[in-house]
Amino acid sequence: MNVYHYVRYSAGRVPDAVAVRRPHGEDVTYRDIDRRAQRVAAWVDSQGMADDARIAVFLPDCAAYASVVLGIWRAGRVAAPLNARFGTDELTYTLTDLDPSALVTADAFADRTAAIHDAVDALDADSTVTAVSGGVFDERAFPDAESVPASDPVTRLDEEPAVVMYTSGTTGRPKGVVQTHRNVTANVQCGITTFDYTEDDVAVAAVPMFHVGGLYGVMLPILAVGAEFAILDAWDAARWAELVEETGATLTGLIPTMMVDAVNTPEAVERDTSSLERVFYGGAPATVATLDAFEEAFDCAALLDYYGQTENTGVSVTFDESTERKPALLGYPMDSVRARVVDFTTGDDVPTGEQGELLLKGDVITPGYWNVPERTEEAFTEHDGRRWLHTGDVVRRDDEGLLYYVDRVDDIVLTGGEKVAPTAVEEALQAMPGVAAVAVFGTDHERWGEAVTAAIVPGEAGLTEEDVLDYWEREVDLAGYQKPRRVVFRESFPRTATQKVDKVALAEDVGSGG
């Protein structure tokens, strides 16, 4: 079924209800969203593009995002959200790979849009529409609904593509992940029932809309139940807390680095955020120290892990409010997936408690990568006649069926013949007084192959490597080979567009002596 119908139903049921709250602007109703989506669909229809055409969405985080994506779906085409922080080189690579029939952009991105026209053969001024001007939907850019009415919504079947969403590209070139209408609707359905979204909810979207956390974690489930949400146009901890207070938000989603920012921002902590009933965290591991500090600072009722990937169309593992918080806890596989934990070499299921790679299959799992059949073949394995996705994540499962995160397969540090999971070292050091943030990775070492390296953002002046290593000896109960052999200090860490710590850039900086 076409995903568009979820929001069309809400627009018919509660047309005058607020969909997007704008505390310092005009609120957007469900009627507004659907009317604008119809105008976008009419524009798409007027372009004479193929039925399965891909349309690139290059927009800032704003209320118009919903109408643009929904309009593309109403017209039966495939939406391709672009990372709004990509530079010209990354945009050129991504768009050349995607080969879109049209581009939807904003006046704020005029310079990069012009560069795209120069570099990408498939796109020019005629195939581009500026949907957002001055931060709001530009009605003038689209056909008038009365003079050029949109066609009826196009039927789309479950297996047909709805989205091509590109990965962040921090470990290589961005890869286009195909997400079908069934992938998206299954994620929305499962998210609503698992997290009990209702029309009384108010969400603050802090994760970008081009990311699964923004598009599928907030926007779509909120619109599907007829609730409302506010959008943070760029990450700012003080502004996030202010928006929660202004809207009386009941839920929000954050990357763990955002939680660290919020805890260390006095202007955020002083806000009244007690309305928060659920705070989802994901995109990277969160230490217990970070979660405890955030919970104490912001008085939220529940902190819930949101484990997922672009290839999972968002969340696929989580837990409920009754589950005891433990270090590295991910939760149970959701109803939309089945999970296996397998040996890295044999592919056989490992015994309970042992580490292995997490494999997933289910309604939310991508059918594969856009335009890269060899990568798709590598990403899946056959077992009992079914395709299982290699997540690339090392986990373990306990006797109750709960999954615990160990690390990324590619991030494991190989030092002196031993394997070290950076998350375990980060968990230990984040609990140290005076440490604001920590990132652990391997750097080249002549004797050990790789040295366990800890980069630290101090929370107080005067913190030294000797302080850190003394703390390790006194307080940390981990094997000796997991002790950092190198400790460096930074004022801040480089971030990806979704506010994750960019460990690739950080390791390169540290490795080069920066």
Extended beta strands in 191-321, E state: 202-205, 228-231, 251-254, 278-281, 303-305, 307-309, 314-318
The contacts of residue 4 (CB under 8 Å, 6+ apart) are 37, 70, 73, 74, 153
Angle (CA) 178-183-189 rounded to 5° is 155
Least confident of 91-95, 406-410, 438-442: 406-410
Q: What is the percent of the chain with per-residue pLDDT over 70, rounded to a whole number?
A: 99
One-letter amino acid at 452 equals V
φ, ψ (nearest 5 deg) of residue 424? -65, -40
* C-alpha–C-alpha distance, residues 236 and 261, integer Å: 8
What would the two tokens of residue 107 be?
Answer: 């006046």
Q: Which of 441, 444, 419, 418 is nearest to 429 (CA)?
A: 441
Q: What is the pLDDT of residues 495-507, one digit of tens each?
A: 988 888 999 899 9
| Number of other residues whose CB lies within 10 A of the CB of residue 407 | 23
3-state secondary structure of 450: strand
pLDDT over 90 at 170, yes or no: no
The contacts of residue 369 (CB under 8 Å, 6+ apart) are 175, 176, 177, 178, 375, 376, 379
> Mean pLDDT for the chain?
94
pLDDT over 80 at 513, yes or no: no
Over range 302-309, report the average pLDDT.
Answer: 94
Angle (CA) 210-215-219 rounded to 5° is 140
Structure confidence at residue 246 as a pLDDT band (50, 70, 90): very high
Least confident of 129-138, 163-172, 228-237, 364-373: 163-172
Q: What Cα–Cα distance (Å) separates residue 138 from each residue in 39, 41, 142? A: 11, 14, 8
pLDDT over 80 at 169, yes or no: no
Over range 277-304, report the average pLDDT.
Answer: 92
Q: What is the pLDDT of residues 147-164, one digit of tens each?
A: 777 789 999 999 999 999
Whether the predicted model's global pTM rises above the 0.75 cut: yes
pLDDT over 70 at 107, yes or no: yes
Q: Tell me if 281 sits within 8 A of 291, measured CB to CB.
A: yes
Over range 192-208, report the average pLDDT.
Answer: 96
How far is CA 441 from its chain centroid? 22
* C-alpha–C-alpha distance, residues 166 and 173, integer Å: 10
What would the two tokens of residue 8 be?
Answer: 């069309």
3-state secondary structure of 23: coil
pLDDT over 60 at 173, yes or no: yes
Over range 252-273, report the average pLDDT.
Answer: 95
| Number of other residues whose CB lies within 10 A of the CB of residue 104 | 29
Q: What Cα–Cα distance (Å) separates residue 137 from each residue in 26, 40, 171, 421, 513? A: 12, 11, 34, 46, 46
Position 325 scores a pLDDT of 87
Over range 74-97, report the average pLDDT.
Answer: 95
Over range 192-214, report the average pLDDT.
Answer: 96
Position 336 scores a pLDDT of 96
Q: What is the pLDDT of residues 31-71, one digit of tens each?
A: 999 999 999 999 999 999 999 999 999 999 999 999 999 99
Position 148 scores a pLDDT of 76
Q: What Cα–Cα distance (Å) separates residue 158 from each residue in 87, 161, 315? A: 34, 8, 19
* C-alpha–C-alpha distance, residues 270 and 287, integer Å: 23
Q: Tell me if 227 sits within 8 A of 257, measured CB to CB.
A: no
* SS3 annotation, 305-348: ECEEEHHHCEEEEECCCCCCCCCCEEEEECCCEEEEEECCCCCC
Over range 267-275, report the average pLDDT.
Answer: 97
Position 57 scores a pLDDT of 98
Q: What is the percent of the chain with per-residue pLDDT over 90, rounded to a whole number?
A: 82
Position 171 scores a pLDDT of 56
Domains of the chain with CATH codes: 4-181 (3.40.50.980), 412-511 (3.30.300.30)
pLDDT over 70 at 512, yes or no: no
Least confident of 23-27, 314-318, 360-364, 445-449: 445-449
Q: Which of 330, 385, 389, 325 is nearest to 362 (CA)?
A: 389
What is the rounded radius of gyration, in angstroms, for the C-alpha atoms of the chain?
23
Strands 251-254 and 202-205: parallel
Position 389 scores a pLDDT of 98
Q: What is the pLDDT of residues 433-487, one digit of tens each?
A: 999 999 999 998 887 888 999 999 999 899 999 999 999 999 998 889 899 999 9
